[in-house]
Amino acid sequence: MTFNSAAFLVFLPIVFAVYWLLQRGSLNWQNRFVLAASYFFYGWWDWRFLGLLMLSTAADFGIGLWLERTEEQRRKKRILLLSLTLNLGLLGFFKYVHFFTDSFSVLANTLGWKVSPFTLQVILPVGISFYTFQSLSYTIDVYRRQIPAVRDYWAFAAFVSFFPQLVAGPIERAKHLLPQFAVRRQFNYDTAVSGCRLMLWGYLKKIVLADNLAPVVEKVFDHPAGQNGWTVALGAVCFALQIYGDFSGYSDIARGAARLFGFDLMQNFRTPYFSTSIREFWQRWHISLSGWFRDYVYIPLGGNRLGLPRQMFNLLVTFALSGLWHGANWTFILWGFWHGTLICIEQLVAATTSKRPLLAAWARGILVFLLVSVGWIFFRAKNLNTAWELLSKMAHFPSGGLADITRQFVSPEKAAATGGFILVFMLLEWFSRNSDVNTLFIRLPLAARWLSYYILAGAILLLGAFDDAPVFIYFQF
């Protein structure tokens, strides 16, 4: 089940109504109902993979209790290793088995060994990258004595499988979300309204921004042979906006849906395309994942405590693993290396120059957006050959300009409507860059606030791409 499906528009009101009817009962009934709804939501896609979710949940619940009862450090490490092996083993098998076997086969054949690729019909369970990392963060934090082990199985299972953020995040930490399952939720009108605002804004990002740009992106990246510098640049910028609208739109809908049930999820995006450095970009883009890799990979490797050369090595390793997390393809690893290298360059520049910036803020912002957009070429390309082909096309910019080239993809009317919407959307993003979009709405007078709701809903109905609308991009991760 996806947020932009008719099934979800039926599912959500029913779950909402039943959930709040249970608020007079015990807390356990609320949590059990959330768990049942979450399993139904996940099983709608493929019920067979519910077993993996249940296995990971039960194992880490027991491991958490085991870790808390254990005092001897070496034994604690072995217990934690059990959780790491189980979760990363499941993730590695279902997501990376073909990647590693195919890569080994290519390497062996290059060295002159005749090796046939090992193939299995393995289906990637949706959301496995997200819920394994969320569950792992719990056992690691219990191991570090940062949080106590939870003794309420139903609360823990609901935390792992909470349907608004189950399949594409945000990747919540136990210390933030798990305590919310330990207290009775009471319906709050203002919280529910703020959730509806977030969902409306998220649907606008997904259906109007992302899905309208998807056909242009597909024409560029799926047919690299017929492209030139103008079309590749157009495709890269469109994909930059598409993936932002798609993924941050999902996060907004998830946060909004959670608020309808009295839960607060972390903000996963904070206007990342207004960043003036690559480091700032990663403080604003997919915040839950970048924070996860910072706390559980970068800092344990030594962070910035062991000198600049080691810090740069740690950054490259962390970003390469972050790229691999996104998908079983060398394009994602190279995309991670691209961002890691850019941050290393920023570190070197900062270490060898004065504190005064070399460029004005607006110039740095444009440069960061261009560098991030180039990186998206690696991310979106099907393979390395396609990525290199598209990048090589950027050396050739024929006469005619971007306006004439754009007509190859969409009609002038469609281009004008989409361009106008993007301009208005980016202005709204700019005004909400230091706060939440809810704050932007609340500042408006009541009449203007309600008018804005109707305008956004009308924009979704009139400008939304409803025909063959693609699923959310991050469902494949």
Query: Which residues are known to be catalytic?
Result: 326
- 362 CB-contact burial (10 Å; exposed 0-12 / middle 13-18 / buried 19+): exposed
Structure tokens given for 398: 């024929």
Closest CA relative to residue 371, chosen from 242, 272, 250: 272
Closest CA relative to residue 313, chosen from 296, 301, 331: 301
* Residue 22 identity (one-letter amino acid): L
Helices (H) and strands (E) in the chain, counts: 21, 0
First to last CA, the chain: 16
- 316 CB-contact burial (10 Å; exposed 0-12 / middle 13-18 / buried 19+): middle
Cα gap 30→152, rounded to integer Å: 13
- 387 CB-contact burial (10 Å; exposed 0-12 / middle 13-18 / buried 19+): buried
Structure tokens given for 449: 């606030």
Any idea which residue has 């309808």 for tokens? 260
Any idea which residue has 């230091």 for tokens? 434
Any idea which residue has 């996104």 for tokens? 326
Any idea which residue has 């977030």 for tokens? 198
